[in-house]
Amino acid sequence: MGTVDQTTGEILTTAPLVTITGDHENYWNIERFTIQAPSYYKLVVAAKTSGFANDVIAIDDISVLDKPCDTTYFVVNDFSQLLASTVKGDVVYSPLLYTDEGYAFKIMFFPQGSSSSNDGYVGMYFALAQGENDNTLTWPFYNHVIRMMVVDQGPDALTRMSQFSNYMTGENGGSVWDQPTTELNSGWGYANFMPLSDILNTRNFVKNDAVMISINVRDMNAYAREHARAFANQNPAPFAAAPLVKESDERLTEEHKDVNINITPCEQQQEKEEVSTMSTSTVIGITLGCSFAVFVLMSLLILCINQSNKQALMAIAMARSNGSSTYNNHSYEEGKKV
């Protein structure tokens, strides 16, 4: 990040944001990060090769969005080869990832669907993992909003239509949200995340034979503490969200491939709407009144049209009686018999 002279546009000071090194072979290197930028700034890319004649550095699709980045992401490369070499139930694990608070997790991605997915759907699950901060964190992992998203990698940020699903962690997950005692807990997510045909044939979900999966994790406990004074209870109970498990949500067992839990319907709070009711006689009266008004208006319109036609016919008759060949302001040549 640097500062820019607002008159000349020259860069006055610079501070590196990210450095990318190494040979990435056939894969594009994707980077994203949140910056705290001044009102005026420039994004500068400085490249330095190793001096070989065939070195190539390419830059594609730089987007600057006025929003914070998601928590983290990972890329599934060689997607076409992955589909050709996997069957239903095969899982792809993300690298070990961390939330902003330091919780470790992995994403379990089923390119052909989990064992309980509908045919033609991909599955995706979030699973807590053992990490370096486990002993200093608060357990269980409740009241966190988790959003998993397959990113539309189209070049225009304004027309991208990424597909995502989200839920809030809570007691309905049971031991899934406890501190991991093994390398990886069971997963919680969606057996039918999205149709595979949508990934392959719509938008730009696949680019350079790679699929990008973005994960956003937000801790809602701080929000609950911040707004605790709004409740009348001087000792409010711990914040707990209503369980949100969609019809396609399922838990994975420790093997991470078989799903053995029953599907739980989504429990959503719906606001009660007060609907005003009318008596049958009132409705009939309003209907008859509207019908009568329409009848009167139509009758007046028909009378006006008839009167106009009568006047036009009288004008034509008078013109013909006077030997004129002009009708309705249009002149016609009189026909001649041949």
Residues 24 and 118 in one domain: no
For residue 307, is it within any domain? no
- Angle at CA of residue 317, ends 315 and 322, nearest 5°: 95
Tokens representing 223 are 């929000």
Question: Where would I find the H helices in 19-175?
Answer: 79-85
Question: Where would I find the H helices in 67-195?
Answer: 79-85
Q: What is the extent of the structural domain holding 108?
A: 70-268
The count of structural domains within the chain is: 2
For residue 330, is it within any domain? no
Residues 256 and 139 in one domain: yes
Tokens representing 238 are 């711990």
DSSP conformational letter for 143: S
Residues 114 and 248 in one domain: yes
Mean pLDDT of the chain: 77
**Residue 114's CATH number:** 2.60.210.10
Tokens representing 335 are 């026909």
> CB atoms < 10 A from the CB of 72, how many?
19
Residues 41 and 178 in one domain: no
Residues 12 and 105 in one domain: no
Question: Where would I find the H helices in 146-210?
Answer: 196-201
Classify the C-alpha dihedral 157-158-164-168 as positive or negative.
positive
For residue 179, count CB atoms less than 10 angstroms from its CB and return exposed for 0-12, middle for 13-18, buried for 19 or more.
middle
pTM: 0.63
pLDDT by residue for the chain (338 residues), tens only, comes to: 777 788 887 888 888 888 887 767 778 888 888 888 777 777 777 777 777 777 777 888 888 888 888 899 999 999 999 999 999 999 999 999 999 999 999 999 999 999 989 999 999 999 999 999 999 999 999 999 999 999 999 888 889 999 999 999 999 888 999 999 999 999 999 999 999 999 999 999 999 999 999 999 999 987 777 776 654 444 443 433 333 334 444 445 433 433 333 333 333 333 434 444 456 677 677 888 788 888 888 888 787 777 766 666 676 666 555 554 444 444 333 333 33
Residues 74 and 63 in one domain: no
